[in-house]
Amino acid sequence: MVLSISGVVLLGIVVLLFFRKDGLKPSHAVVCALFGFYLAGTSVAPGIHEGGARIAQMLGGIAL
């Protein structure tokens, strides 16, 4: 659950940066959000979730 919330916060910050710096229009952000919601309901969602979990595990294993 913590990873999911952290991912949402991180992606929200990225969208905010795109909105402020790179000229992301609010309509584009809405389309991206809707795409994400609809994508979550497809058969591809478990693969995306697993890929995100593996990336998080890999990043968590990096020792500085």
Measure the CA–CA gap between 52 and 40, rounded to whole angstroms: 13
pLDDT in tens, 17-50: 888 887 878 888 888 888 888 888 888 888 888 9
Task: Name the pTM for this structure.
Answer: 0.57
Report pLDDT for 30: 83
Report pLDDT for 58: 87
pLDDT in tens, 2-17: 555 677 777 778 888 8
Q: What is the DSSP letter of 25?
A: -
Number of domains in the chain: 1
pLDDT in tens, 44-53: 888 888 988 8
Whether residue 19 contacts residue 26, with contact meaning beta carbons closer than 8 Å, is answered with: yes
Measure the CA–CA gap between 52 and 6, rounded to whole angstroms: 12
Scanning the structure block, which residue is given the tokens 């309901």? 41
Query: Domain range holding 18?
Result: 5-61
Helix, strand and coil percent figures for the chain, each rounded to 5: 80, 0, 20
